[in-house]
Amino acid sequence: MNADMITELRKGNNMTVEIKESRETLLSIRDLHVWYELRRFGFGRAGYVKAVDNVSFELAEGETVAVVGESGCGKSSLMKTILGLNIPTSGEVVFDGKNLAQLKASELRDYRFEIGYVQQDPYGALPPFMTVQQILEEPLIISGVKNKEERLERIRKAMDEVKLHPSDDFLPKFPHMLSGGQQQRIVIARAMILQPRLIVADEPVSMLDASVRVEILKLMRALQEKYHLSVIYITHDLSTVKYFSARIFVMYAGNLIEKADTRQLLDNPLHPYTTALLAATSDPDAHNADSYKEVPPGEPPSLANPPKGCRFHPRCSKIINGLCDEKEPVEFEPVPEHFVACWLYQPK
């Protein structure tokens, strides 16, 4: 009886992502490098933190991808560059056929209105001394919606989209009066309010409880489908990816080391790092306690001084000595549309 009830509750809420036919390219990233300068005082040469190194991909209109990787691997740096907040050290960000580097200041401003940003940490994302109404009104004012009535109209609509009703109850509230899940809905409403074509969601649910997490992911999925949005979903949690994204990019120490359709990547991971991530992800099961997990030794490298050759080589059990520790792997495509930067897949 209980099981039936739960099945009932699940109805009409299926989350599995279908892979749709390819469409117009919306965003294209070419040979992108984002290096931060390390400043040293006194003597010494300054080095660089190579937060994003040699990253390329394309994102179609209406497509969803997940960027998965551990803390400090460069996920936020990549996204901030796409948002135009970081200037690339080299390489290009092309949105809708326009190269970001060639935009005038006013064009860059308009460009930012095309992207909604759901930032990491909902608790820090909302200004504490602004009401919900002020928070949602701000982007409308900046983008030049002069009519007060129209602004209110659009705020109400956005709140309706994220299912915060009755909206009038929420408008005068300050963020601290809202639960974590409600705050994250406001963050999403703010990202949606200028009707962007691309949403960048940086760990949108990692600070939330399990029971709320799924609700927010489902909400974002519904909005994505309704408005045919492109979405880049950044996360370290592989178990949520398949519910939200058609493709996965795995990032390690500034590089995208594997790119494939979600199902393909989860079923047939190729890169040793991806395999390790999947093995380390637990599903709740009492038998987990009976055995130890196999985990690669060590920790991700410093991006100021990454290892020579493959950046994963000091931790890799499959290392090919003399090759992996010398030459940076190039990208291979051992299976159509499944890309991997690892020497194991070099065609013979």
Ligand X SMILES: Nc1ncnc2c1ncn2[C@@H]1O[C@H](COP(=O)(O)OP(=O)(O)OP(=O)(O)O)[C@@H](O)[C@H]1O
Which positions touch ligand SF4 (CB under 6 A)? 271-272, 310, 312-313, 316, 318-320, 324, 329, 342-344
| Distance in Å, CB of 155 to ligand X, minimum | 30
Per CB under 5 A, the list member of 76, 133, 230, 274 interacting with Mg ion is 76
Q: Write the DSSP assignment of 41-94 as a string of letters.
A: -SSS---EEEEEEEEEEEEETT-EEEEE--TTSSHHHHHHHHTTSS--SEEEEE
Sign of the C-alpha dihedral, residues 339, 343, 344, 348? positive
Amino acid at 14: N
* Min CB(297)–ligand SF4 separation in Å: 13
Contacts of 204 (CB under 8 A, 6+ apart): 118, 122, 184, 187, 188, 216, 217, 220, 233
DSSP H or E segment with residue 131: none
Q: How far is the CB of 26 from other proteins (least distance, A)?
A: 27
Q: Does 73 bind ligand X (CB under 6 A)?
A: yes
Closest to ligand SF4 by CB, 95 or 345: 345
Q: Which is nearer to ligand X, 25 or 89 (CB)?
A: 89
| Terminal-residue alpha carbon distance, the chain | 57
Nearest Cα to 258, choosing from 238, 228, 280?
A: 238
- Rounded Cα gap, residues 285 and 300, in angstroms: 28
Residues 50-79 that bind other proteins (CB under 8 A): 70-71
Q: What is the phi/psi pair of residue 136, to 5°?
A: -80, -25
The amino acid occupying position 52 is V
Pick what 76 binds: Mg ion, ligand SF4, other proteins, none; C-beta below 5 to 8 Å, kind-dependent: Mg ion
Nearer to ligand X, 71 or 321 (CB): 71
* CB contact at 8 A, 183 and 213: no
Could you count the other beta carbons within 10 Å of the beta carbon of residue 100? 18
**Which of 264, 185, 259 lies closest to 223, judged by CA?**
185
Q: How many CA atoms lie within 13 A of 10 on its CB side?
A: 9
Q: Is 271 helix (H, G, I), strand (E, B) or coil?
A: coil
Q: Residues 25-44: x/- map of binding to ligand X (CB under 6 A)?
A: -----------x--------
Give yes or no for residue 49 binding ligand X (CB under 6 A).
yes
d(CA 7, CA 16): 16
235 binds Mg ion (CB under 5 A): no
Q: Is 335 in the site for other proteins (CB under 8 A)?
A: no
When asked if residue 4 is in the footprint of other proteins (CB under 8 A), the reply is: no
Instruction: Supply φ then ψ for residue 149, to 5 degrees.
Output: -60, -45
Closest by alpha carbon to 51, among 69, 68, 72? Answer: 72
Among the residue ranges 6-14, 95-103, 110-118, 320-328, the one whose residues contact other proteins (CB under 8 A): 6-14
Q: Which residue is nearest to Mg ion (CB)?
A: 76
| Residue 10 binding: pick among other proteins, ligand SF4, Mg ion, none (C-beta 5-8 Å cut-off by kind) | other proteins
Stretch that binds Mg ion, among 68-76, 190-198, 221-229, 318-326 (CB under 5 A): 68-76
The nearest distance, CB 115 to ligand SF4, in angstroms, is: 33
Q: Which is nearer to ligand SF4, 100 or 310 (CB)?
A: 310
Compute the residue count for the chain: 348
Site residue total, ligand X (CB under 6 A)? 13
Site track for ligand X across 100-139, x = CB under 6 A:
--------------------x-------------------
Residue 169 CB, nearest approach to other proteins (Å): 14
Q: Using CB under 6 A as the criterion, which residues of the chain lie in contact with ligand X when the complex forms?
A: 36, 49, 51, 69, 71-77, 120, 303
Q: Using CB under 8 A as the criterion, which residues of the chain lie in contact with other proteins when the complex forms?
A: 2, 5-6, 9-10, 13-16, 70-71, 179-181, 209-215, 218, 236-240, 242-243, 266, 276-289, 292-293, 295-296, 299
